[in-house]
Amino acid sequence: MDRDRIEGKRKQAEGGVQEKWGEAKDKARDTWEDVKDKTEDVADKVEDRWDDRGEQEDEPADSSR
């Protein structure tokens, strides 16, 4: 009987560790996705600014000179 209780507690502890590991992996995955999304947002903003800058250079110069 004592052996069964010890085995049960061991399995319970193992389950708790697996649960915590799963939570840590989920949190890491969520954090990675957040960073990836923010990086893509920054890249899009840089690309938009670069495109806007190129359009300004293509505009004809002021002809009143």
In a domain, 45, yes or no: yes
In a domain, 62, yes or no: no
- 26 in a structural domain: yes
Q: Summarize pLDDT for 1-55 with one digit per residue, the tens.
A: 799 999 999 999 999 999 999 999 999 999 999 999 999 999 999 999 988 887 7
CA distance 57 to 51: 10
Asked, for residue 55, whether it belongs to a domain, the answer is no
- Which amino acid is residue 62, in one-letter code? D
What is the reported pTM? 0.60
What number of other Cβ atoms are within 10 A of residue 42's Cβ?
Answer: 10
- Domain hosting 31: range is 22-50
**Count of the separate structural domains present in the chain:** 1
- DSSP tag of 59: S
On whether residue 38 sits in a domain, the answer given is: yes
Domain-embedded: residue 41: yes
Torsion of CA 56, 57, 58, 60, to 10 degrees: 90
